Amino acid sequence: MKNLLAASNLDRAEVLGILDLAEEMHEVQGREIKKLPTLRGRTIINMFFEDSTRTRTSFEIAGKWMSADTINVSAKGSSVSKGESMKDTMLTLDAMGVDCFVIRHAGSGTVQQAADWVRASVVNAGDGSHEHPTQALLDAYAMRQHFRSLDGGPVDGFEGRTVAITGDLLHSRVVRSNVSLLNTLGAEVLLCAPPTLMPTGADQWGVEVVQDFDEALQRADVAMMLRVQRERMSSGFFPSAREYIAGWGLTANRLRRLREGVAIMHPGPMNRGLEISSEAADAASSLILDQVSAGVAVRMSVLYHVLGGSNEGSK
């Protein structure tokens, strides 16, 4: 695999291959000395045109633990702030002999565009409202661990499992990557959002659109809550915060009504008290920190697949 640009480019065997290798990588996290020699001599640039805590840090850790040289470049400290185009920036860095770019950008489709410009491998760390494939992979990793602990046995695909994804789906790249990946793994996906925050045509994504959040929670094995992205709402936040919490917030009351074994997920960063209450975020059934932890192992596996394996496949 040369690039990882979209979850929708991955077939089931590729997803399971990445998750299986991530399990081996997860063991490294528990060791006192974490370095593997796997990517020694390779250079990775984390190119972030948009802010990030989890994704940028975990890609940096992943690269370092595999002995790659990792360099962080952000738009603010680079010549982008002087008006240099993204294309010139990418070509300039590519000419230095970089092996892989991990790119986050506010524009949907820009990461695919960058992959067409450069010789190096490219991994999408989130482009606009388009895709965030490594988030969906780490979410699948955390779900698989959860289902295993419930079943007490091996779990590959997600047939017979229901995942309810609720929140600001309109602006979310996480929902698009998760729907693709969960469909590939055989899960039933329910989407729930205020009508103003439901993408047009979402009912054609191989999911069921459910109007009533309480019904979605009743049917779910996993309740994945997504952030209200106020920074992407130019004309204000509608419905109001009070209406949002009443209709679509995972409140302490709704937490108490969840069936036993239902896992709570959120990719972060969270708006505590809006889409998710602190009681739900910090509940014993919350996988939120498991998701963060899985992020390092999954990104190690992804970097291995694009840099350490063959250069055939997913473009």
Ordered strands of the 121-127 beta sheet = 69-74, 43-48, 100-105, 121-127
Would you say 166 is a known binding-site residue? no
Q: How far is the CB of 62 from ligand CP (least distance, A)?
A: 13
Q: How far is the CB of 246 from ligand CP (least distance, A)?
A: 26
Buried residues in 251-268 as b, exposed as e (16+ CB within 10 A): beebbeebeeebbbbbbb
DSSP letters along 135-181, please? HHHHHHHHHHHHHHHHHTS---S-TT-EEEEES--TT-HHHHHHHHH
Closest CB to ligand CP among 120 and 136? 136
Question: 4, 140, 126, 131: which is closest to 54 by C-alpha?
Answer: 126
304: DSSP letter: I
Q: How far is the CB of 55 from ligand CP (least distance, A)?
A: 3
Would you say 227 is a known binding-site residue? yes
Q: How far is CA 28 from the centre of its chain?
A: 21
Q: How far is the CB of 98 from ligand CP (least distance, A)?
A: 21
Would you say 105 is a known binding-site residue? no
Would you say 35 is a known binding-site residue? no
- Max Cα-Cα span within the chain: 57
Would you say 171 is a known binding-site residue? no
Closest CB to ligand CP among 269 and 309? 269
Closest CB to ligand CP among 44 and 210? 44
Q: Which residues bind ligand CP (CB under 6 A)?
A: 52-55, 126, 135, 267-269
Closest CB to ligand CP among 60 and 99? 60
Q: How far is the CB of 296 from ligand CP (least distance, A)?
A: 13
- Contact (Cβ atoms closer than 8 angstroms) between residue 102 and residue 45: yes
Which residues belong to the annotated binding site? 54-55, 82, 104, 132, 135, 173, 227, 268-269
Which residues belong to the annotated binding site for L-aspartate? 82, 173, 227
